């Protein structure tokens, strides 16, 4: 898929299939939650600009992308320098590949990534305490987190 797509606030459920972004388009939406179920995959590459933020209230407050447990499809987010992504990215059974550029997190926006493995590259800053922006949700880890070269 390429071109410009603006999602209205709401919940988007993808059962199977793939969101494959490429080219020079824009995927944007405020107050958006994307559910990936039944093996669905999210793959953003090339010069795609991503501007997504989660709902601030309701049952999905703070959640931008939710990939169901057991879905092992890799989740890939490679945004351009104009991209802005915030919220929880949750894919507990899958590898998550995340590449952000210098303004991907302008001002240190709130993002929390949960994956079987998480590989982050790029030049970004992430805000440490953003409970208010993520619908009052806290992220605690009961497992060991390591930084690997």
- Give the single-character DSSP code of 8: P
Residue 128 inside a domain? The answer is: no
pLDDT tens per residue across all 149 residues of the chain: 557 889 999 999 999 988 888 777 888 999 999 999 999 999 887 678 888 899 988 888 889 999 999 999 999 888 776 778 888 899 999 999 887 664 454 344 677 888 999 888 776 555 555 666 555 556 554 444 555 55
**Euclidean distance between the first and final Cα of the chain, in Å?**
33
In a domain, 37, yes or no: yes
Cα(109)–Cα(104) distance, integer angstroms: 9
Tokens for 119? 């590989």
Do the domain assignments include residue 31? yes
Given the structure tokens 């070269």, which residue do they identify?
Answer: 149
Q: Which residue segment(s) compose the domain that 100 sits in? A: 4-122
Percent of the chain scoring above 70 in pLDDT = 72
Is there a domain that residue 101 lies in?
Answer: yes
Q: How many CB atoms lie within 10 A of CB 113?
A: 18
Would 140 be classed as within a structural domain? no
User: How far apart, in whole angstroms, are the C-alpha atoms of residue 14 and residue 26?
Assistant: 19
**Domain annotation covers residue 144:** no
Kindly state whether residue 135 falls inside one of the protein's structural domains. no
Which residues, at least 6 apart from 140, have a Cβ–Cβ distance to it below 8 Å? none
pLDDT of residue 139: 54
* The model scores a pTM over 0.95: no
Residue 143 inside a domain? The answer is no
Count of domains forming the chain: 1
């Amino acid at each position: 898929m390429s071109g410009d797509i603006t999602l209205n606030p709401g919940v988007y459920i993808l059962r199977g299939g793939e969101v494959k972004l490429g080219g020079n388009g824009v995927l944007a939406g405020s107050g958006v939650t994307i559910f990936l179920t039944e093996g669905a995959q999210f793959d953003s590459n090339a010069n795609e600009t991503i501007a997504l933020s989660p709902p601030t209230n309701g049952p999905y407050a703070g959640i931008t992308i939710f990939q169901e447990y057991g879905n092992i499809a890799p989740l890939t987010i490679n945004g351009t320098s104009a991209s802005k992504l915030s919220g929880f990215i949750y894919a507990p059974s899958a590898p998550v590949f995340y590449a952000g550029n210098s303004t991907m997190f302008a001002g240190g926006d709130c993002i929390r990534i949960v994956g079987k493995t998480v590989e982050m590259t790029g030049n970004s800053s992430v805000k440490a305490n953003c409970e208010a922006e993520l619908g009052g949700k806290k992220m605690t880890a009961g497992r060991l987190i390591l930084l690997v070269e």
